[in-house]
Chains A and B, each alone.
Chain A
Amino acid sequence: MGNRAQIIIVGTIFVGLGLVPLFAELTQTPFYLDLARRMMILAIGALSLNLIMGYGGLISFGHAAYIGIGAYVVGICAEHELVSGFIQWPLAIIVSGLFAIIFGLISLRTRGVYFIMITLALAQMMYFLGVSLDRYGGDDGLPLIERSNFGAVVDITNNVTLYFIVLGALVLSLLFCKRLINSRFGMVLQGTRSNETRMKTIGFPTLRYQLTAFVIAGMMAGFAGALLANHTDFINPDMMHWTRSGDLIIMVLLGGMGSLAGPVVGALAFILLEELLSGVTEYWQLIFGPFLILVVLFARGGLLGFFANKEQRDE
């Protein structure tokens, strides 16, 4: 299935990402450092969504909520002068996980369109909660007084250091997903996507596995949120807006749903296109929309699947 080609493509992307700081330094364009860092953070978010959407068949339309929760945990901690990253980041993951347990228990009672709508509603609830938190900036958001502090271990106030931390986090997330989907747990998740009734009748209580996947995905997104707060030095409710959740879904679709590295390719392509097209016209979605439709219609397996298979044909 073009596996070797996929590895080459993904490997090239990571080498490229590794060279961005050097490029930005040489050309004196810190903008690219910033852009690539945002891409990678959202790629972690898209990877986590792909776990439940691509492998679990659960289309969550509220995944940005967990990114927001992770970011708010970091922001709120910083506001109260709790700046240690060793506390902030695990806390961001744990709190996102707790919300995912509750939201998962509610939304996993339904399937299909109802699941989409409930996850959307719950995420919008979090968005309005963010808006109403006047103490933490309300609608306007809240500047991060200080980035997460890792003491003598590493100093992420340096933008290049933060860049490599994010790059490392993305690589680890990708490896984690790879192990997960090929494990026994991953087989149960994929089997349930394929045929839930059959899974039940061979003896799997499917709900608890789906809930676990939902929570793992929420925690990963929460981690991405902790990174995002440090990346933007700012938190605001917009991070949780339903359009952000939609962006994540688009990234997964664009790159290739249910392929391991597809969401990484999707996130990169999405941010890149957004940046390029919005330079051309204010109404960049007008071009992006039809492009997305073309990808979904004609590139089965998204951009990654398309290019990986093309390369295989050329061999």
Chain B
Amino acid sequence: MNEIVLEVNGLCKSFGGVLATDHLDLGVEQGSIHAVIGPNGAGKTTLINQLSGLLSSDDGKIQFNRSDITNLSAPARAKMGLARTFQITSVFGEFTALENVSLAVQAHDGHSFKFWHDARGDKFLTEPALEALTIVGLEERQSIKASLMSHGERRQLEIAMALATKPKMLLLDEPMAGMGPEESNRMVSILSQLKGKVTILLIEHDMGAVFSLADKITVLVYGGGIATGTPDQIRANPVVRSAYLGDEDLES
């Protein structure tokens, strides 16, 4: 068994009386794609917000590369190599694609109290940025403003931004959300390229994508994990069948 990169123990988060994350345990292995699936409102996005540090946790512990990050801020976690994307595309609309990714490179190139030199012409930023854009296939769109790109392109741009931070692990919140079949396929091929190189926690509703990409799957219902296993084990699990997966999902 590979080393565990991200380990979550007894994680809790409640909003009012609702337990959005309910004593959740999770272990993500180095280099794997670990999918988290579950019905709407199961607490998937809450989990990613807790992992990335946008939400504090009420209880439990998050360990990343064997250090406790439970109380670290979001920027501090990002600096450690924990990158994320958002379910609702989150890019800098008035910046070009290249500027978007350059900014992500800049975040991991020391402090930014540099007041004098032109950042847009800085090869230490633009070269790695272009590399990341190439990985997601946007190199020819580098000078297009993000707000003028198509939905699918902006999703790819977000992945490029996350990659540009040289992450040890990616937290992807529904990367295929709102995509057509063609765009989805492109995203699947981008993610399968990354497989093995960077550890990925994947939240996704597209079951075809999940079962073809994931090494392991955790099923989340009402904030708690009801099962974890390989795609085959999950497919065969009767509890999961009744709780979440409809029969039609299992045919593929």
Residues of chain A at the chain B interface (Cβ within 8 Å): 179-180, 182-188, 190-191, 194-195, 197-206, 209, 212
B92–A191 touching, CB < 8 Å: yes
User: How many A-B contacts are there with CB distance less than 8 Å?
Assistant: 95
Minimal beta-carbon separation of B149 from chain A (angstroms): 15
Contact residues in B for A194 (Cβ distance below 8 Å) = 92-95
B141 at the interface (CB under 8 A from A): no
The answer to whether A187 and B99 have CB atoms under 8 Å apart is yes
Min C-beta distance of A149 to chain B, whole Å: 31
Partner of B115, one of A179, A197, A206: A179
For residue B120, CB closer than 8 A to chain A, the reply is yes
What CA separation (Å) do A59 and B84 show in the bound complex? Answer: 30
Q: How far is the CA of A203 from the CA of B119 in the complex (A)?
A: 17
- Determine whether B50 belongs to the interface, using a CB cutoff of 8 Å to chain A: no
Instruction: Name the distance in Å between A291's Cβ and chain B's nearest Cβ.
Output: 28
Does the CB pair B75–A200 fall under 8 Å?
Answer: yes
Q: Is the CB of B119 within 8 A of A183?
A: yes
Besides A184-B122, A205-B75, 8 other A-B contacts (C-beta < 8 A):
A183-B116, A184-B114, A185-B115, A188-B112, A198-B92, A202-B104, A202-B107, A205-B76
- Residues in chain B within 8 A of chain A (CB atoms): 52-54, 73-76, 78-79, 83-84, 86, 90-95, 99, 102-104, 106-108, 112-120, 122, 125, 161-162, 165
Contact of B75 with A183 in the complex, beta carbons under 8 Å: no
Contact B114 A185 (CB under 8 A): yes
B93 to chain A: closest residue by CB: A194
- Of all chain B residues, the one with the shortest Cβ separation from A186 is B119
9 A-B residue pairs with Cβ-Cβ distance under 8 Å, sorted by A, are A183-B114, A187-B106, A188-B112, A190-B92, A191-B92, A199-B107, A201-B52, A202-B78, A202-B162
Verify B103–A202 contact, CB threshold 8 A.
Answer: yes
Interchain CB contact under 8 A, B118 and A183: yes
The reply to whether B108 and A203 contact each other, CB–CB distance below 8 Å, is yes
- A179, A184, A191, A204 interface centre (most CB from chain B within 10 Å): A184
Most buried by A among B53, B84, B116: B116
Closest to B101 in A: A202
**Cβ–Cβ contact B91 & A180, under 8 A:** no
Q: Which residue of B lies closest to A183 (CB)?
A: B115
Q: Which chain B residue shows the least CB distance to A180?
A: B115
How far does the Cβ of B11 sit from chain A's closest Cβ, in whole Å? 19
A110 vs chain B, min Cβ distance (A): 18
CB within 8 Å for A183 and B93 given contacts A202-B104, A203-B75: no
Determine if B106 and A197 form an interchain contact, defined as CB atoms under 8 angstroms apart: no
Q: Which of B86, B107, B122 contacts A203, CB < 8 Å?
A: B107
Given A183-B118, A188-B112, A200 and B54 contact (CB-CB distance below 8 Å): yes
